[in-house]
């Protein structure tokens, strides 16, 4: 109900977002990632991505899929791909040149894509919190990029501005750090770094809430994407 419409939009040339939001310990990361016995949105989506790609290939379309993964911590981005280079069964490197300052990986299978995300998750910024001993202290954005090119009668891809048969879209899975109510926190036990993290998390989520409310109103007004890095990424 959540992933399928977003994936359809992305494969049809749009930019779609799935955002997991909530307090610390509310199950955001579990909803996105899940477990082997209880798969989350990612596992279901990854399987669907390749099933749909194969279906479109049968309909004379070539689908190129690439992914990127980064985190935002204290309003600064860190690439979670860097240093991770998956290989295909014949040993060919799959890491491509960077785009928009984030590495892209192409040619992945469903299994590769999940391993790729797990590798990024393993270095995501986490720290102890009284509500969660391994609390995520950064927002992560896992992006799946699609390029769909229709093949011509000769079997070759129809590309170029004249044919208008190439579409590009993206699906972004956002796992937000937990929002924290200052009135509920034990600030006397928090170190300066934790206080700064909490303030940055709350500020960025507050900015995101304003942006989403502006977009949902469908009114012609200024949308403050520039408020923080998280909202700039949405633009």
Residue 29 labelled as part of a binding site? yes
Give the pairing of strands 15-20 and 166-175.
Answer: parallel
> Both tokens of residue 211?
């942006």
Residue 138 labelled as part of a binding site? no
Q: Exposed, middle or buried, 18 (CB in 10 Å: 0-12/13-18/19+)?
A: buried
Residue 27 labelled as part of a binding site? yes
Residue 94 labelled as part of a binding site? no
Residue 22 labelled as part of a binding site? yes
Residue 170 labelled as part of a binding site? no
Terminal alpha carbon distance of the chain: 24
Q: With helix as H, strand as E and coil as C, how does 63-108 read?
A: EEEEEEEEEEECCEEEECCCCCCCECCCCCECECCCECCECCEECC
Binding residues: 22-29
Binding residues for ATP: 22-29
């Amino acid at each position: 109900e959540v992933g399928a419409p977003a994936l359809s939009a992305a494969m049809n040339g749009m930019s779609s977002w799935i955002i997991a939001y909530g307090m610390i310990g509310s199950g955001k990361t579990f909803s996105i990632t899940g477990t082997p016995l209880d798969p989350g949105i990612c596992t279901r989506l990854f399987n669907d991505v390749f099933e749909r790609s194969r279906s479109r290939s049968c309909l004379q379309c070539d689908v190129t899929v690439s992914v990127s993964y980064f985190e935002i911590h204290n309003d600064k981005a860190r690439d979670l791909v860097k240093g991770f280079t998956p290989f295909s069964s014949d040993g060919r490197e799959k890491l491509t040149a960077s785009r928009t300052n984030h590495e892209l990986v192409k040619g992945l299978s469903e299994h590769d894509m999940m391993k790729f995300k797990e590798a990024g998750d393993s270095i995501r910024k986490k720290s102890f919190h009284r509500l969660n001993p391994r609390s995520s202290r950064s927002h992560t954005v896992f992006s799946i990029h699609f390029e769909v090119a229709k093949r011509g009668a000769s079997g070759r891809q129809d590309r170029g501005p004249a044919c208008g048969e190439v579409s590009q879209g993206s699906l972004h899975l956002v796992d937000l750090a937990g929002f924290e109510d200052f009135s509920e926190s034990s600030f006397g036990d928090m170190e300066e770094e934790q206080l700064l993290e909490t303030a940055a998390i709350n500020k960025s989520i507050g900015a995101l809430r304003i942006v989403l409310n502006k977009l949902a109103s469908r009114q012609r007004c200024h949308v403050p994407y520039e408020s923080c890095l998280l909202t700039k990424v949405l633009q």
